[in-house]
Amino acid sequence: MNQYVHQISESYINLPTDTWMPVNNKFKPLCSDQLSAGVYYTPNKNYAFSAEGYYKWLNHILDYKDGYNYLSSFAEWENKFTAGKGNTYGIELFARKETGKITGYIGYALSWNNRQFDEINHGKSFPAKFDNRHKLNIVANWQINKKVELNASWTYMTGNRVTVSFENQQILGQVQSPQTGNIYPGQPLLPHFHPDEGVGYYTTRNNFRLPAYHRLDLGINIYRSLKKGRTGIWNISIYNAYCYMAPVGIYKRFWTQNPMGSGYYPENKSDCYFETLRLIPIIPSVSYTYKF
């Protein structure tokens, strides 16, 4: 299978900021090959079960180069990206109840998702941003009567991966030789260097996994018969019913072990910790559908 538009994900934050890039003379279409096998079982009209396994090869994937944020010229956008390969594999289990007042399904997936680029991570393989090891979906619908229907769905997913720095590096100045004009490393720009200063040092790409994502959605449909066979449906829904604030990013903070209280001194032992940025609380909604 070929795809002629590349989806490129930002690896330093977990927000919907993906970039879509067209193919050109430099970057080929994304190409994938998949091998899959499955077992399907339907004991009666009420239930259906399935188990599938798959392995997918990906070629000509695009991703940002290491240090891409320093290439700020939009005219040079091709220089921000590099092409590589990847693979994804796993198993999927599925069970469905299709008849009766209570219907629904349960789906579970166990998967791995890896990438490899010559110009990223020193050419070594690394997990993709969406390397979500476990995914679980539970959906239930209860038809109380002809006029009222309740529904609920619960989603769980292992957290996405992001790239974070666990330590900072000192920044060195530059000295130019008046004789030759050559530039050499000079004295540190921060003579009293503290761990919360300097620039972040990144060991590997996508080296940190965010906390798991989970959410409960609830809803009720109220049906009303209208004239001439038409139907009106009121829907009241609650998105994220228990208000779990999903983590979408992570940022580094530093603390200082100072027995004297306040103050920040070079001789203090310092370390870093991480805080998550969380968004999207509980969201209620009301809608009306008119069928004719």
Cα–Cα distance, 32 to 86 (Å, whole number): 9
Tokens, residue 162: 């992001």
Query: pTM score > 0.85 for this model?
Result: no
The pLDDT confidence band at residue 269, using thresholds 50, 70 and 90, is: very low
Average per-residue pLDDT in the chain? Answer: 82
User: 255 is in which domain, residue-wise?
Assistant: 2-165+202-291
Query: Is 106 inside a domain boundary?
Result: yes
Query: Is 187 inside a domain boundary?
Result: no
**Per-residue pLDDT, 40:** 97
Which amino acid is present at 96?
R
Query: Is 178 inside a domain boundary?
Result: no
**Per-residue pLDDT, 189:** 47
Give percent of the chain above pLDDT 70: 75
Query: Is 192 inside a domain boundary?
Result: no
Report pLDDT digits (tens) over 47-88.
999 999 999 999 999 888 876 654 455 546 777 888 999 999
Residue 109, classed as helix, strand or coil, is: strand
Cα–Cα distance, 110 to 156 (Å, whole number): 12
Query: Is 99 inside a domain boundary?
Result: yes
Report the domain count for the chain. 1
Q: How far apart are the first and last CA of the chain?
A: 40
Helices first, then strands: H and E counts in the chain: 0, 21
Query: Is 170 inside a domain boundary?
Result: no
